[in-house]
Structure 1
Amino acid sequence: MTDTLTAPRHISSAVPASQPSARWALAGGVVAGPLFLAAGLAQGVARDGFGFTRNALSQLALGEHGWVQTVSFLLTGALLIAGATGLRRALRGAPGGTWGPALVGVFGASFWAAAAFPADAGAGFPVGAPETTTMSGHGAAHMAAGMIGYLALCGAFVALARPLAARGPRGWAVASRVVPVAVLAGFMASATSVLAFTAGAGLGLLWLSAVTARLAGGPEDR
C-alpha cells in the first residue's frame, strides 16, 4: 500500500516531445536551416550577377526579386522560434533546458531583424551595383543582427551540449562544443572570404537542425 501511495512522486512533470504541438514545433526547428540554405542556393544560381564566392546570401534580398529572400528570412525566423518553443517543452527541467531554447529563439528573431534591415548592395550585386560597398544604417543594423544571432546560436550549442551528453553518445555533446568554433572562424574570415562566412553560417544552421532532431527523441534514443 505504501508503494502504491508514493509512486506518483516519481512521475515526471515535463511535457513529452511526443505531444502533437511539441512535435510540430520541433519539426519547424529541424527544417528551418535546410530550407533557408536550399532557397539561397536556388536563388543564387538563378539570379543574374550573383556569385557565391563574392556575394553573401543576404544580398539576395536586393533587386527585383529580392522579396523571395525577404520571405525566406521571415519564414526561417518563424520556424526557428517554433523550434525553440518545442525544445523548451522537450527539455523542461533538464540541464540546459532554459538557456539553450532561449538562445535559439534569439537566433530566430535575428532573421526577422535581417529581413527588416536589408544588407547593402556591393560586389556587383544586384546587377549594376558598384564593386565597393558603402555601409548604410540599415546595412549596419543587418550586420549587427547577424552577429548577435550567430553568437546566440553558438551559446545555444554549448548549452544544449548538456542534454546531448545526458542522452548519449557523448560524441554529440563534443561536436556541439566544437561546431561554434568553426562557425566563429567563418565569421572572422568573412573580411577576406565571403565563401568562408557562408560555410560557417551554413554549418551552424545544419548543426542546429541535427541537434533539434536529436533532442526531439526521448532519452532512450541512443
Structure 2
Amino acid sequence: MSNAVPGTTPRATFDRGRAVTKSLLGWGVVAGPFYLVVGLAQALLVPGFDLSRHALSLLLLGPLGWIQALNLVLSGLMVLAAALGFARLLPGGRGVATGILLGLYGVSLFGAALFPPDPMGGFPPGGTDATTASVSGLLHLVAGAIGFMSLAAAAVVAGGWFRRERRRGVAITSYVAAAVIVLGFLGGAALAMAPAGVGLLWLAVVAGWAWLAIASLTAYRMAPSPVL
C-alpha cells in the first residue's frame, strides 16, 4: 500500500550507493586531462625540456621534479577511484577484473613517481646522461610496463562489456586503444633514445588517458541514476 498522501506527488528517493558509483566514475573522466595539462604546462615552462626529445617522465628529475611526482600521485588516486567505480558497475568477474587492472595502473603511477628515470637526452640541463641503468631507472621502467599492460588489459575486458551492452563504438575504441597502448609502449621502450621512440611513448600515454576518459564517461552515463 502506498504511503503517499492522496492528491500529492510522491517524494523522490535518493540511492547513495548509485551516487557514489557515478562519482567514482567521474574521476576517470578527469584524470587524463588533469595529468596531461599539468605535464604539458611543465614541459613548456621547465628550461631545457624538449617535447620532441624527452619523455614526460623525465620531468621527475631536477629541483622541480616534485611537481611531476605530485601529478603522478594525484592522477593515480583518480585512477584508483575510477577502478572502484568500474568494479561497482560492471557485473561479476568482469567488474572485478576491470577494477583490479585499472587499480594496477593507478598503483604503477605511484611507483613511477617514487622511482625516477635516469637522465637522458641532455635532461636535466647540466647533468650527464646515464651510461648504465640505475636501480631507480629500472624500477621506473618496470612500473611503466606494469601500468601500460594493465591499462591495455583493462580496455580489452571493459571493451567486452561495452560490446555486450551494445555500445559498439566504445567497444571498438577500447580494442584499438589497447593495441595502441601496447605497441606504443613497446616501440617507445625499444627506441627510447630516438625521437621516434619518444613519439611512440606519447602515443601510448595519450591513447591510454583518452580511452579512460571515454570509457569512464560512457560508464557514468550508463550507471543507474541515484534519484528513484
Q: TM-score, normalised by structure 2?
A: 0.83
In the aligned structure 1, how far is the partner of 2:210 from the partner of 2:105? Answer: 14
Task: Give 1:159's aligned amino acid.
Answer: V
Secondary structure at the residue paired with 1:83?
A: helix
**1:52 aligns to what?**
51
Task: Give 1:97's aligned amino acid.
Answer: G
In the aligned structure 2, how far is the partner of 1:160 from the partner of 1:28? Answer: 17
| 1:101-125 CA-partner distances (Å, limit 9, x unpaired) | 2100100000011111111112111
Task: Give 2:154's aligned amino acid.
Answer: A
In the aligned structure 1, how far is the partner of 2:223 from the partner of 2:36? Answer: 30
In the aligned structure 2, how far is the partner of 1:108 from the partner of 1:17? Answer: 25
Given that 1:87 and 1:216 are in contact with CA atoms closer than 8 Å, whether structure 2 keeps it comes out as no
Given that 1:167 and 1:219 are in contact with CA atoms closer than 8 Å, whether structure 2 keeps it comes out as no
**1:101 aligns to what?**
99
Compare 131-140 and 32-41 and name the one that shifted more.
131-140
| 1:104-155 CA-partner distances (Å, limit 9, x unpaired) | 0100000011111111112111111235553110010000000011101111
Given that 2:38 and 2:71 are in contact with CA atoms closer than 8 Å, whether structure 1 keeps it comes out as yes
In the aligned structure 2, how far is the partner of 1:17 from the partner of 1:200? Answer: 36
Gaps of 5+ in 1: 1-15
Task: Give 2:65's aligned amino acid.
Answer: G
Secondary structure at the residue paired with 1:123?
A: coil
Given that 2:156 and 2:175 are in contact with CA atoms closer than 8 Å, whether structure 1 keeps it comes out as yes
Given that 1:157 and 1:180 are in contact with CA atoms closer than 8 Å, whether structure 2 keeps it comes out as yes
Given that 1:90 and 1:216 are in contact with CA atoms closer than 8 Å, whether structure 2 keeps it comes out as no
**1:3 aligns to what?**
none
Task: Give 1:212's aligned amino acid.
Answer: S
Gaps of 5+ in 2: 1-14
Compare 175-184 and 155-164 and name the one that shifted more.
175-184
Given that 2:159 and 2:171 are in contact with CA atoms closer than 8 Å, whether structure 1 keeps it comes out as yes
**1:164 aligns to what?**
162
Matched, 1:214 2:218: yes
Could you say if the C-alpha distance between residues 82 and 194 of structure 1 is closer, same or farther in structure 2, counting changes exceeding 3 Å?
Answer: same
In the aligned structure 2, how far is the partner of 1:197 from the partner of 1:17? Answer: 40
| 1:28-62 CA-partner distances (Å, limit 9, x unpaired) | 11111111111111100000000111111111111
- The percent identity for this pair of structures is 34
In the aligned structure 2, how far is the partner of 1:165 from the partner of 1:219? Answer: 16
In the TM superposition, residue 18 of structure 1 has moved relative to its aligned partner by 7.3
| Residue from 138, 141, 161 that aligns with 2:139 | 141
In the TM superposition, residue 17 of structure 1 has moved relative to its aligned partner by 9.4
In the aligned structure 1, how far is the partner of 2:210 from the partner of 2:74? Answer: 16
Compare 36-45 and 24-33 and name the one that shifted more.
24-33
CA RMSD of the aligned region, Å?
2.1
Given that 1:161 and 1:174 are in contact with CA atoms closer than 8 Å, whether structure 2 keeps it comes out as yes
| Residue from 186, 198, 209 that aligns with 1:194 | 198
**1:81 aligns to what?**
80
Given that 2:116 and 2:136 are in contact with CA atoms closer than 8 Å, whether structure 1 keeps it comes out as yes
**1:10 aligns to what?**
none
Runs of 4+ with >6 A deviation: none
Matched, 1:70 2:69: yes
